[in-house]
């Protein structure tokens, strides 16, 4: 009997947006580490001593000025700078960390390895290194491992047990949003080495973020071997 479904078009048209997308993860509230707690405690003690010596004791003592200022500085530093985990983005453009208005991004194609160092997931890039605490970013870490394994499995220097205790990524974890701030000008075409100086000439592999000049897009990505051609996206 002939095939029941001859030449039936694929019903599941592959859905791939014509632009780069990513998910954003905010850090989980986690308590400060022991060193930060210790610094904060010393600061609070010194501050208390300073307040007593300067404002409560009669007469006021000049020596109290130093613990007053130093203690306030230490306590404020521990509060504002200690262990601040930053929002993380994971998607077509790689992995990025938001530092205020700046974004440090490592595309998948620029990663050398993804591995654990203690409780931190480390992304070693050709130009930058990113680190994520499992405690502060369990969801982002789980997504980085899942996406990296799907996109460029050779990068993932991880044991199967690495995902033990991590949440299972699901579509509802964070919405996909368009990547607006990917840097393309000044990067070299992965096919020809030609530097792309105009953003409109850039085309990107949606799987690994490799960049090509629009006139030199290969049929398959030379970095990750994913089908490319007309699937390459502009920014």
The number of residues in the chain equals 235
In 3D space, the residue among 137, 152, 127, 33 whose CA is nearest the CA of residue 89 turns out to be: 137
46, 174, 208, 233: which one contacts Zn ion (CB under 5 A)? Answer: 208
Indicate whether 205 belongs to the interface with Zn ion (CB under 5 A).
yes
C-beta of 97 vs 223, nearer to Zn ion = 223
- Which of 78-86, 123-131, 188-196, 198-206 is the region at the interface with Zn ion (rule: CB under 5 A)? 198-206
Find the shortest distance in angstroms from Cβ 42 to Zn ion. Answer: 50
Question: Which of these ranges, 85-93, 139-147, 159-167, 199-207, lies near Zn ion under the rule CB under 5 A?
Answer: 199-207
Among 123, 210, 211, 233, interactor with Zn ion by CB under 5 A: 210
The minimum distance between CB 18 and Zn ion, in angstroms, equals: 16
- The side-by-side arrangement of strands in the sheet containing 21-25 is 102-106, 94-99, 88-91, 21-25, 177-178
| CA 37/CA 57 separation, integer angstroms | 28
Q: How far is the CB of 225 from Zn ion (least distance, A)?
A: 7
Interface with Zn ion, residue 211, by CB under 5 A: no
Q: Using the structure block, give the residue that is written with the tokens 């920014």.
A: 235
185 Cβ contact list (under 8 Å, min separation 6): 196, 197, 198, 199, 202
What is the C-alpha R_g of the chain?
Answer: 25
Nearest approach in angstroms of CB 226 to Zn ion is: 5
Q: Which residue has the tokens 């003592």?
A: 61
Please tell me whether residue 221 binds Zn ion under the rule CB under 5 A.
yes
Positions in the binding site for Zn ion (CB under 5 A): 205, 207-208, 210, 221, 223-224, 226
């Amino acid at each position: 009997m002939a095939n029941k479904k001859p030449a039936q078009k694929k019903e599941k048209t592959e859905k791939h947006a014509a632009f780069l997308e990513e998910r954003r993860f905010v850090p989980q509230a986690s308590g400060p580490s022991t060193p930060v707690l210790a610094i904060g405690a010393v600061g609070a003690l010194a501050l208390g001593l300073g307040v007593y010596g300067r404002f409560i004791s009669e007469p006021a003592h000049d020596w109290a000025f130093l613990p007053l200022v130093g203690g306030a500085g230490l306590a404020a530093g521990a509060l504002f700078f200690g262990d601040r985990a930053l929002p993380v983005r994971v998607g077509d453009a790689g992995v990025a960390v938001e530092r205020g208005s700046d974004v440090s991004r490592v595309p998948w194609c620029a990663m050398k390895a993804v591995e654990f160092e203690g409780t931190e997931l480390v992304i070693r890039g050709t130009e930058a290194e990113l680190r994520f605490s499992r405690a502060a970013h369990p969801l982002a870490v789980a997504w980085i491992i899942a996406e990296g394994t799907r996109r460029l499995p050779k990068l993932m220097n991880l044991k199967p047990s690495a995902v033990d205790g991590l949440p299972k990524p699901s579509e509802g974890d964070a919405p996909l949003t368009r990547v607006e701030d990917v840097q393309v000008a000044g990067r070299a075409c992965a096919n020809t080495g030609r530097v792309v100086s105009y953003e409109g000439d850039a085309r990107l592999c949606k799987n690994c973020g490799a960049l090509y000049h629009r006139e030199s897009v290969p049929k398959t990505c030379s970095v990750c071997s994913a089908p490319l051609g007309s699937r390459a996206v502009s920014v």
